[in-house]
A and B are shown apart, each in its own frame.
Chain A
Amino acid sequence: MDSVLGNWPSYDPHNFSQLRTSDPSRSSKMAPATYHSIHNRDVPPADQVINTEHKNILLREIYRRAEEKLTPKRAASDNLIPEHGSKQPRVST
């Protein structure tokens, strides 16, 4: 029997007798559809390197709070210069 499972033993020799792998149209139907993304938002930049953050979570939090204290005041004093253009979306951790 020309089966994709070869000549593997089975209880009943008639098992898998319906299987026809030599049929090309059937094999293409059997292959699952592959998803291809239609947008390019999630293409990673070519030079992206993923590393572990060296600062531990406590220090990250301390630095974040320190920067928070500085930035709102800076925005208030420099409110003539729009800063939104230079902002980058933060990666949520």
Chain B
Amino acid sequence: MFFKSSNITARIFDRQICTPAPGTSVHYARKFYENLVPSYTVYEVECPDHSFRKFTDDGQYLISFSRNQQELIVYRPRWLSFSCKDEDCDNHDLPLKAKRFESFFTQLYCVPLASCNELICKDFFLYMESNKFGLFATSTAQVHDAPAVGGAVQGVPSIEKITFHLLRLEDGFVLDEKVFCNDYVNLAHNLGVFLYDDLLTIVSLRYQIIHILQIRDSGNLVHVRAIGEFCREDDELFLNSNAQGMALSDKNKQQQLLGNHIYNNIHQAQPNPGNSFLSGIKQRLLSFMFRGLWNEETDDTLRVQKIRQKFYFHFQDYCDLIIWKVQFLDRHHLLIKFGSVDGGVSRHADTHPAFVAVYNMDTTEIVSFYQNSADELYMLFEQFCDHFYATSRNSMHMNFISSHSNNIHALEQLRSIKDKASSSSQFMKKMLSSLPFSCQSLSPSPYFDQSLFRFDDKLISATDRHKQSTDHPIKFILRRHPYSLRFKIKPGPEAGSMDGRAKKISWFLFHPVLPLALSVQQTLIMQPPLVNISVVNIHFRR
């Protein structure tokens, strides 16, 4: 074992002569990020009043939406280009023109997506890297207490019109649209939609249907199947033909009782096969549970007892379960989360009981079914967490996002939380509540690689959620020798905010490849005038 220098020049020479060990070429290349860090901050950049969403995962575009949530504006990230004629350039301050937003980003286009009564959901964005397509969503206002008509679930709100727009990001051309009327899809943070390769799943919470669509290279959104009421493509045909047969036989019975005084009652009770059957996916689930419990015992008496206790006792609860969230595990398997109606729309779903099932779309079979605090599911989560992220085969760098299954430091962190937790089952339930994972919710930036840097994940992390903001800068410390502070990210104004008591939240947009990051800090002023002050900083390697 010889000591490898952490000096960047030495590393470049090493790269010329040494081949990395098999399978570690990405990790080897990533070590350069220890040397190239976004240590310089331009505070309070004058930038257009847009809400910046994220960099695309290949770093080609910066997605933002106008403040009125009607337009999409896409920028191309670029680097500063100015030259300094003096000899001692490093000590010079940056010229003023370099400190502008436009020096770092070029606007490519501005496209109106939402019509007058619609708004773009600014927390929703999915990127298909292979074709550089972007998926956006617009919706009209939510209607609470909508009546449960046409197979809708009672208690789920309704949105008059949800439109998914597929755009070619090179020029902003709208390729295709998919509209859902009087439906409800969880759009915030991509909760109700999952993209895997070219397959898209959209969960209609209101009608309990999992729509599977395919994004073709031509840019068309093609409907592949709808799982929910029917599992196989020909189920509907089969049931409809059966329904016709039943209607005929009932009509004959009615004619016989025509003269009877209970004629009116029969007329009112029209046979409706749609209502008497449970939905296809529910049938699969209940029969899987039944068979599983049946097979656990060999003695017939014990079997019946077990079925009565564990199945029929809770039968109505199982029937009332609704699909909450879905993700792909691969092209043929879905991970579906079931829960009660109340939990489906509430923000704090952790308190509600939930179940997770693995469903094979091709054989239409449920492979396994777990309660969300099950030991077995937690073991799978701990060991194979990165496989739950279901990254597309096309994007290589997305496979290197740190998780506790591929990084020893993240695993140690998880184990320490587990040891400190007061209740093991509560801890497991809390961890498993993140399943199924939301699509593209983690940044692939190497600065979040746990084997390179150590940072406080309450203040900053790879997930694109808002975090509590403090006035202190966030430190990134090297994991390897010499374990020193490498760079700091400070959101908000340089001198700190004037009012220390005001609640501040911040979020960070890290470029996946370049040492470039944006931090946005929002101060929520509670007293009138209710204003949100946003401060945008740019962090880059000078």
- B483 → chain A closest CB, angstroms: 33
Q: Decide: A57 near B376, CB < 8 A? Known: A70-B295, A73-B296, A77-B298.
A: no
Contact present for A73 and B295 (CB under 8 Å): yes
Docked pose: A77 CA to B367 CA in angstroms: 22
- B374 → chain A closest CB, angstroms: 11
**Which stretch in A6-14, A36-44, A60-68 binds the other chain?**
A60-68
Contact present for A62 and B380 (CB under 8 Å): yes
Contact present for B380 and A56 (CB under 8 Å): no
Q: Decide: A57 near B368, CB < 8 A? Known: A62-B358, A73-B296.
A: no
Docked pose: A73 CA to B296 CA in angstroms: 7
- Asked if A84 lies at the interface with its beta carbon under 8 angstroms from chain B, I say no
Cβ 8 A contact of B298, one of A62, A65, A66, A73: A73
Contact present for B292 and A61 (CB under 8 Å): no
- Asked if B330 lies at the interface with its beta carbon under 8 angstroms from chain A, I say yes
Q: Decide: A56 near B387, CB < 8 A? Known: A70-B295, A73-B296, A73-B298.
A: yes
- A62 → chain B closest CB, angstroms: 5
Which residues of the other chain, B, contact A69 by a CB distance below 8 angstroms? 292, 295
Chain B interface size, under 10 / 10 to 19 / 20 to 34 / 35 or more:
10 to 19
Docked pose: A23 CA to B292 CA in angstroms: 76
- A29 → chain B closest CB, angstroms: 38
- Asked if A76 lies at the interface with its beta carbon under 8 angstroms from chain B, I say yes
CB-nearest residue of chain B to A72: B295
Which residues of the other chain, A, contact B358 by a CB distance below 8 angstroms? 59, 62
Cβ 8 A contact of B330, one of A56, A61, A70, A76: A56
Contact present for A57 and B387 (CB under 8 Å): yes
- Asked if B73 lies at the interface with its beta carbon under 8 angstroms from chain A, I say no
Which residues of the other chain, B, contact A77 by a CB distance below 8 angstroms? 298
Contact present for A59 and B295 (CB under 8 Å): no
Which residues of the other chain, A, contact B333 by a CB distance below 8 angstroms? 59
Cβ 8 A contact of B329, one of A54, A58, A76: A58
Docked pose: A55 CA to B376 CA in angstroms: 20
Contact present for A65 and B368 (CB under 8 Å): yes
- Asked if B388 lies at the interface with its beta carbon under 8 angstroms from chain A, I say yes
- B102 → chain A closest CB, angstroms: 44
Query: CB-defined interface of B318-333 with A at 8 Å, one 1/0 digit per residue?
Result: 0000000000011001
Cβ 8 A contact of B368, one of A54, A55, A66, A74: A66
- Asked if B312 lies at the interface with its beta carbon under 8 angstroms from chain A, I say no
Docked pose: A54 CA to B388 CA in angstroms: 16
Q: For chain B, residues 255 to 295, give those with C-beta under 8 angstroms from any C-beta of chain A.
A: 292, 295
Q: Decide: A61 near B384, CB < 8 A? Known: A69-B295, A73-B296.
A: yes
Which residues of the other chain, A, contact B298 by a CB distance below 8 angstroms? 73, 76-77
Contact present for A58 and B367 (CB under 8 Å): no
Which residues of the other chain, B, contact A54 by a CB distance below 8 angstroms? 330
CB-nearest residue of chain A to B295: A73
Docked pose: A70 CA to B296 CA in angstroms: 8
Docked pose: A74 CA to B383 CA in angstroms: 29
Query: CB-defined interface of B385-413 with A at 8 Å, one 1/0 digit per residue?
Result: 00110000000000000000000000000
CB-nearest residue of chain B to A55: B330
Docked pose: A20 CA to B403 CA in angstroms: 63
Which residues of the other chain, B, contact A66 by a CB distance below 8 angstroms? 367-368
Q: For chain A, residues 71 to 93, give those with C-beta under 8 angstroms from any C-beta of chain B.
A: 73-74, 76-77
Give 9 nearest A-B pairs by CB, closest first: A58-B387, A58-B384, A73-B295, A66-B368, A76-B298, A77-B298, A62-B368, A56-B387, A66-B367
Q: Can you show 11 pairs from A to B with CB atoms below 8 A apart?
A: A55-B330, A57-B387, A58-B380, A58-B384, A59-B330, A62-B367, A65-B368, A65-B376, A66-B367, A66-B368, A73-B296
Question: Apart from A58-B387, A66-B367, A69-B295, what are 8 other A-B pairs with CB-CB below 8 Å?
Answer: A54-B330, A59-B333, A59-B358, A61-B380, A61-B383, A62-B358, A76-B298, A77-B298
